[in-house]
Amino acid sequence: MAARGTAKSARRWFVSGHVQGVGFRWFVEKHANEIGLNGWVRNEDDGRVQVYAVGVAEQLNRLAALLHQGPRMASVRGVEEQEATVQDFRSFQSS
């Protein structure tokens, strides 16, 4: 059994606002890699950005806080968070 706080889990976020065309995916990819998360970030057809990340709770919480902030040119209006099934990714990438 994993030590408390070291079990991997996954979350999915849908970020709304002015979040496409402002470097949001690059911002997420950069910070997720610095934090040590695996997963992906992509633009959705409805104007939102979707983020999927796998890591321990502390790492996921750090990314969640950054998603509410976004890069300088973004205007985040909402962040919907969901628990997700853990999938095996070896890195974090923008798609």
Which residues are known catalytic residues?
25, 43
Pick left, alpha or beta for residue 16 (phi over 0 → left; psi -120 to 50 → alpha; otherwise beta): beta
Q: Residue 82 and residue 85: Cα distance in Å, rounded?
A: 10
